[in-house]
Amino acid sequence: MSPNYIRSFSEGCLRPPTVIGQFHTLFFGSIRMFFLGVLGFAVYGNEALHFSCDPDKREVNLFCYNQFRPITPQVFWALQLVIVLIPGAFFHLYAACKSIKQEDILQKSSYTGFYIFSVFLRIVLEVAAFWLQIQLFGFKVNAIYMCDVGALEKKFNITRCMVPEHFEKTIFLIAMYTFTVITVILCVAEIFEISCRRLGLLKTQ
């Protein structure tokens, strides 16, 4: 890998061409990932161990927990972050291969269109993740989960399960929704900023 290639990648690609884009990178890369990595583990790390049902049997607890959590929130949000990063990663790779500088993105229509497309695709992925999160987790974590154990226990079909730290999980859930909304707003604002710079309403950096 040549020094020019490395210099082109570091100077022209890693840094977004807009003020809002740079703020979004800081928000996305620092605050959101820190919140998920540190606080997410603290809230959800031992959830499966403390999830208990009546009767308190290991097989019943495990069966109901898998029913309660088809996918753990940490895994879902980690996948969301990785998938949302893909459009930007493809653009950065393309820019590095073409030796595109930061100022070229806003000056050449083809580069601008490609960059806007990557931001728009990021919006689509965030909205899709937002909808899927609603389907999987809703907006509130209840203290009691009614589990259908008909396939496991022949004596009864429905059992009550206690969800640990349900209030903390509700707060964390709302926070992740909020992060998604903020990210979408920043992406829309970045497209607006790019349009204004292309029209000459704002000075280019």
What are the chain's domains? 18-195 (1.20.1440.80)
pLDDT value, residue 133: 93
pLDDT value, residue 100: 75
Listing DSSP states for the chain in one string gives --HHHHHHHHHHTSS-SSHHHHHHHHIIIIIIHHIIIIIHHHHHTTHHHH-EESS--HHHHHHHHHHH-SS-HHHHHHHHHHHHHHHHHHHHHHHHHTT--HHHHHHSHHHHHHHHHHHHHHHHHHHHHHHHHHHHH-S---SEEEEE-TTT-SS-SEEEEEPTTHHHHHHHHHHHHHHHHHHHHHHHHHHHHHHHHHTTSS---
pLDDT value, residue 128: 95
pLDDT value, residue 56: 77
Q: Along the 205 residues of the chain, how does pLDDT read in single tens digits?
A: 444 443 443 444 446 677 777 777 777 767 788 878 778 877 887 888 888 888 778 888 888 898 898 888 888 988 988 898 888 888 888 877 877 777 777 777 888 888 889 899 999 999 999 999 999 988 998 999 998 887 776 566 788 899 988 898 999 899 889 988 988 998 998 888 888 877 766 555 4
